[in-house]
Amino acid sequence: MSLQEEISKRRTFGIISHPDAGKTTLTEKLLLFGGAIQTAGAVKNNKIKKTATSDFMEIEKQRGISVATSVMAFNYRDRQINILDTPGHKDFAEDTYRTLTAVDSVILVIDCANGVEAQTERLMEVCRMRNTPVIVFINKMDREGQDAFDLLDELEEKLSIKVRPMSWPIGIGETFKGVYNLHRDTLNLFSGNKTEIEKEVIEIQDIDDSTLNDAIGDEDAAMLREEVELVNGVYGDFERETYLAGEVAPVYFGSALNNFGVQELLDSFVDISPTPQGRMSDQGFVEPENPKFSGFVFKIHANIDPKHRDRIAFLRIVSGEFKRNTFYKNIRLDKKVKFSNPTSFMASSKEIIENAYPGDVIGLYDTGVFKIGDTLTAGENFMYKGMPSFSPEIFKEVQNDDPMKSKQLEKGLRQLTDEGVAQLFTIQPGNRKIIGTVGELQFEVIQYRLKHEYNASCSFMHRSHHKACWMTSGDESKINEFIRRKASNIAYDKDGNTVFLADSPFLLQQAELDYPDITFHTTSDFKLG
């Protein structure tokens, strides 16, 4: 098969949702419909429950599970579908943001009762930054929820994206009868059957067909006709280009738990979703069809066996063909490396692969060399433009509890932050280390892993910063002046970039007013150019 054919065959996407909206259930059902698993319940729920904060073994176990379910690939209608899992727990939001750099599109799951929730908004902001195409699945239609028109308004308002319903629900909760597919003119009747995959699809001529009345009754048919007319009037035609440009999100309604609307979603996904896309590098855009292999590491997962300390780096292939046992260049280290055991993540098994293509995610065993954001190429000197770092929200200073183990602590902190567990900043005087995270859970993970993997002990001292801001200005002297004035709130990130640790929203606003020539960024994405 040619490179072009391999590319055309692949679809790589992520499912995002607020916890409990049904991401795990939908993932499982997609695998079930794709024939990758035979029974429901096979995908472990990779949610880290709140109670896990004090149970380290539980965290470790969960981390183990999340390796297994990090990438799930399966074949459906001659396509290879790669689903990239995103952690649901909000403390791991940073992981999710990075995973979103490795997908070409996303499916957003919304609970029909709760609508758009806090985490959905943040995740969508990340998608909007990259114009990632989004399909929305409104889930749990078997339960009482909000009116469909209200939900669509809420989506547009809170997620700053236009929506286009592709199917329309008939009733909701107790009265839910099914959905009408607005494009295929089919009626999909709801049976509430959790175990069977097949469902009844009724072909109808058009919305005025009397078959509709026979299937759902006169009253519901009349209501449906009225609503469909309104939908078509309000939302206009669906144009695939606007979806691919990340401007319009097609919306489907269903119930993942009841296998309802899932096949329709999967079929539409296969029809409209983008093939693997290229990525921007510091030397320009790299197309997937470029025959020379290149890719980037977006996730590093430590092995659960502390004695080995080996890790799996997840590499997204951007261009060309990856081959086993071939030397590739790690651009950051300017070093050639080859991999004898690269693995694929087919949902049914994890196996060693000989080659892989754009859109694929492969697992590379690593002994601590890789860093999140690393670029591998066939020899060309360019770098993918890095992973975005988002400003942490919790900051703590590291106190070394065992001065005899300073080296180990240093190494442990470096490696753990290379893995992306948290961000590391250095502040003067005394090269003090500050760890920044989005959730409390990371501090426990860091403490635990430092002890078990590096034999180092530390405790944390709270620091009351609000945000870490990267700075840019057309006039470097302004930044230098700012650094002098705010010395006690200036730190350096791992790449040596200066950051301003603002103590409160007010002080950040004040800095912006006092220094209008400086732009304060709460994500490092500005480096992406």
Does 457 interact with ligand G4P (rule: CB under 6 A)?
Answer: no
Classify strands 105-111 and 375-377 as parallel, antiparallel or unpaired.
unpaired
The CB density around residue 122, as the number of other CB atoms within 10 Å, is 17
d(CA 123, CA 131): 12
Looking at the Cβ atoms of 21 and 331, the one nearer to ligand G4P is 21
Q: Give the shortest CB-80-to-ligand G4P separation in angstroms.
A: 24
Looking at the Cβ atoms of 67 and 422, the one nearer to ligand G4P is 67
Contact characters 137-156, ligand G4P, x per CB under 6 A: --xx-xx-------------
Classify strands 458-463 and 394-400 as parallel, antiparallel or unpaired.
antiparallel
Does 255 interact with ligand G4P (rule: CB under 6 A)?
Answer: yes
DSSP 3-state of 255: strand
What residues numbered 18-47 form the site for ligand G4P, per CB under 6 A? 19-25, 45, 47
* H or E stretch at 420: none
Name the token pair of 386. 């890095």
d(CA 349, CA 378): 28
Looking at the Cβ atoms of 88 and 320, the one nearer to ligand G4P is 88
Looking at the Cβ atoms of 139 and 277, the one nearer to ligand G4P is 139
Residues in the chain: 529
DSSP 3-state of 285: strand
Classify strands 167-170 and 178-181 as parallel, antiparallel or unpaired.
antiparallel
Looking at the Cβ atoms of 111 and 419, the one nearer to ligand G4P is 111
Number of H helices, E strands in the chain: 14, 29
Q: Give the shortest CB-29-to-ligand G4P separation in angstroms.
A: 9
d(CA 466, CA 150): 35
Answer for the pair 83, 71: CB distance below 8 angstroms, yes or no.
yes
Piece of 72-80, 253-261, 387-395, 443-451 that binds ligand G4P (CB under 6 A): 253-261
d(CA 435, CA 463): 10
CB neighbour burial string for 398-413, b if at least 16 within 10 angstroms, e if fewer: bebeeeebeebbbbbb
Looking at the Cβ atoms of 62 and 255, the one nearer to ligand G4P is 255
CA distances from 308 to 87, 217, 430 (A): 25, 65, 33
Contact characters 258-297, ligand G4P, x per CB under 6 A: x---------------------------------------
Q: Give the shortest CB-195-to-ligand G4P separation in angstroms.
A: 14
Looking at the Cβ atoms of 107 and 353, the one nearer to ligand G4P is 107
d(CA 270, CA 335): 39
Q: Give the shortest CB-200-to-ligand G4P separation in angstroms.
A: 18
Piece of 15-23, 244-252, 358-366, 413-421 that binds ligand G4P (CB under 6 A): 15-23
Looking at the Cβ atoms of 49 and 308, the one nearer to ligand G4P is 49
Q: Give the shortest CB-23-to-ligand G4P separation in angstroms.
A: 3
Helices marked H in 337-440:
406-418
Q: Give the shortest CB-101-to-ligand G4P separation in angstroms.
A: 21
Q: Give the shortest CB-393-to-ligand G4P separation in angstroms.
A: 22
What residues numbered 80-119 form the site for ligand G4P, per CB under 6 A? 88
Looking at the Cβ atoms of 256 and 372, the one nearer to ligand G4P is 256
What residues numbered 208-227 form the site for ligand G4P, per CB under 6 A? none
Looking at the Cβ atoms of 16 and 204, the one nearer to ligand G4P is 16
Q: Where are the beta strands (DSSP E) in 210-286?
A: 248-253, 279-281, 284-286
Q: Give the shortest CB-45-to-ligand G4P separation in angstroms.
A: 5
Question: How many binding residues for ligand G4P (CB under 6 A)?
Answer: 19
Q: Which of 67, 124, 256, 456 binds ligand G4P (CB under 6 A)?
A: 256
Looking at the Cβ atoms of 23 and 164, the one nearer to ligand G4P is 23
Name the token pair of 517. 């020539």
Query: Across the beta sheet with 458-463, what order do the strands follow?
Result: 458-463, 394-400, 432-437, 423-427, 490-492, 498-502, 467-473, 518-521
Looking at the Cβ atoms of 80 and 255, the one nearer to ligand G4P is 255
Q: Where are the beta strands (DSSP E) in 18-52?
A: none
Q: Give DSSP secondary structure letters for 286-354.
A: E-TT-SS-EEEEEEEEE-S-TTT--EEEEEEEEES-EETT--EEETTTTEEE--S--B--BTTB--B-S
Q: Give the shortest CB-445-to-ligand G4P separation in angstroms.
A: 20
Q: Give the shortest CB-18-to-ligand G4P separation in angstroms.
A: 7
Q: Give the shortest CB-293-to-ligand G4P separation in angstroms.
A: 34
Does 171 interact with ligand G4P (rule: CB under 6 A)?
Answer: no
Does 257 interact with ligand G4P (rule: CB under 6 A)?
Answer: yes
Q: Give the shortest CB-262-to-ligand G4P separation in angstroms.
A: 9
**Site residues for ligand G4P per CB under 6 A:** 17, 19-25, 45, 47, 88, 139-140, 142-143, 255-258
